[in-house]
Amino acid sequence: NSMTRSLETSRDELLAQNELLRESERHQRDLIGMVSHELRTPLAAVLGFTALLLQRDFGVEERRRYLEIIDTQARRLARLAGDFLDVQLLEGGGLTLVLEQFDLGELVREQTRLFFTGQSEHTHELVLPEEPVIVHADRDRLSQVVGNLLSNAVKYSPDGGTIAVGAQARDGTVRVSVADQGLGIPPEELPRL
């Protein structure tokens, strides 16, 4: 009886360890998927605008604007690589937010320019207030969020479709919106958001 109980205890411990390993593998797959998704957007921008500059002659101002986009996205890639290599992140410690005041409207304008300057088959409507939309937040993280929304809108909208992008401040709350003409999220997936 003692031996049977010992074997059952060992079996239960092995099953629990097995489940922990499976959960760890799921987290690792999720992290790899997130890294892949987050790096793809700025990398595509760097490659796309570099290709444009190499293939065509642009005026000084337009060339400078494209180089600024490449510089911004290359710096974003460097920060993302640093974040993903951070031991705390890999150990589940999370990221540290760098809070600062900035104009969210300008960030939305930058990200929109990135996705719709010369290489998109989509049209866009950008609606921003004339006055700055000042927020106190982590600029890089919000760039990622807006970039992901725009990337998904471009990816899942029919070619030639219009993507509406906007930001507004009201009663101490700021709202950023990205609306496209895609099929949307299937109803059965909505609870997972």
Give the model confidence (pLDDT) of 138-170 as tens digits: 998 899 889 888 888 888 888 878 899 999 999
Whether the per-residue pLDDT at 26 is higher than 90: the answer is no
Question: What is the spatial distance between Cα 56 and Cα 53, in angstroms, rounded to a whole number?
Answer: 6
pLDDT digits (tens, 9 = 90+) for 114-143: 888 765 678 889 999 999 999 999 998 899
Question: What is the spatial distance between Cα 133 and Cα 135, in angstroms, rounded to a whole number?
Answer: 6
Whether the per-residue pLDDT at 98 is higher than 80: the answer is yes
User: What pLDDT, on the 0 to 100 scale, is given for residue 86?
Assistant: 60
Whether the per-residue pLDDT at 4 is higher than 90: the answer is no
Q: Could you write out the DSSP letters of every residue in 36-99?
A: HHHHHHHHHHHHHHHHHHHHS---HHHHHHHHHHHHHHHHHHHHHHHHHH-HHHHTT--PPP-E
User: What pLDDT, on the 0 to 100 scale, is given for residue 20?
Assistant: 83
User: What pLDDT, on the 0 to 100 scale, is given for residue 119?
Assistant: 57
